[in-house]
Amino acid sequence: MRHFAFLAAALLALVSSASRADDAAALMQPYTGKVPGAALLVLKDGKPVLRKAYGYADLEHGVAATPATNYRLASISKQFTAAAILLLAEDGKLKLDDSVRRWLPSLPASDQGITIHHLLSHASGLIDYEDLMPPGTTRQLNDGDVLRMLSAETRSYFAPGTGYRYSNSGYVLLGLIVERASGQRLPDFLRRRIFKPLHMDHTLLREPDGPQPEHRAYGYSEQDGRWVCTDQDLTSATRGDGGIYSSIDDLARWDAALYDGRLLKDASRRLAFAAQNHVTGEADVDAYGYGWRIHGEVRWHSGESIGFRNVIVRWPKQRLTVILLSNRNDPEPYRTALDIARPYLEP
């Protein structure tokens, strides 16, 4: 009798797994065929229950996407910049309540009240560097350009610590602070302290004149019914706010490290995932931590840049994570990720 019960349970599990795969396939249909593609990973209890690639990483050269394809993470990179800051805090190299001007003294005296904590939690009030670009700019901005623009700017959106405004400017500055505090270039610090220890062997922070990602996806945008390569724009060379390339396989290793102390101490991970700044007026966002959006029990972040749309959504208490990376400007993947997760979520 027990044997039949075991077989029945196993058969039910197989049917359920097939049903979930069919549901995901339907949801991922827009990425299927000779179009810019995507990579999807569902992790349950630390194991991949769905790992699949769709479409193409490079249309011009006919390169299909695979689970090893590396996508520009865009703002998903912010959680790695935040982790780098937390590692330096653990090392005693900096404090989260340090004034940003301790590390970047060229910033104006009006920024004295901005702390590293404010940068991490989007509470700085700094002007968006995208809005400070001189008219007619044709060269890609780098981090030094951003620092120079912000050093000449005394306006702010609000006094530090009194509001929330998502800030790429803040995370560019955090990347520069990592370099000043560690004495290492940001790509090197991330590789030595995060990517290498976690065996994220194909993940890197891309710089135009540095090593380029292997198995790279190129970004595309749909224009007049056809896909046009739009891989880079004027803000694609800044680093701390969005410059990392990675794959779903490497991000599975990152996800695993967020459950234990193999990289960050428990106290640091609690800070990253805690509500550091209250958020209003944004769907599915109650607060912001350090590199993570918070919505109830969910911790998530999207990443958008020209030609790329990505998302990582985690339900830590249920040990469930959905990662969806894509090299196209549409569709936005967050709702798709939620729909894919639904059959795996417990009531």
Catalogue the active-site residues.
75
Helix segments in the chain, DSSP class H: 2-27, 78-90, 100-103, 116-120, 143-151, 168-182, 186-190, 248-257, 266-273, 334-341
Question: What does the alpha-carbon distance between residue 41 and residue 293 come to, in Å, rounded to a whole number?
Answer: 20
Question: What does the alpha-carbon distance between residue 31 and residue 26 come to, in Å, rounded to a whole number?
Answer: 10
Q: Encoding tokens for residue 41?
A: 């990973």
Sheet holding 71-72, edge to edge: 71-72, 244-246, 204-205
**Residue 313 CB contacts under 8 Å (≥ 6 apart), including other chains:** 298, 299, 300, 321, 322, 323, 334, 337, 338, 341
Which residue do the tokens 């009240």 mark? Answer: 113
Question: Which phi-psi region, left, alpha or beta, contains residue 44 (left: φ > 0; alpha: ψ -120 to 50)?
Answer: beta
User: Contacts for 135-139 with beta carbons within 8 Å, 24 or more apart?
Assistant: 137/234, 138/234, 139/234
Helix 78-90 and helix 266-273, axial crossing angle in degrees, nearest 10: 140
Q: Encoding tokens for residue 247?
A: 């794959």
Residue 283's nearest CA partner among 325, 334, 216, 249 is 334
End-to-end CA distance of the chain: 30
Do 327 and 71 meet the contact criterion of CB atoms below 8 Å apart? Answer: yes
- Tell me the sheet residues that pair with 325: 39, 310
Q: What share of the chain is helix, strand, coil (3-state, %, to 5)?
A: 35, 20, 45
Helix 78-90 and helix 168-182, axial crossing angle in degrees, nearest 10: 40
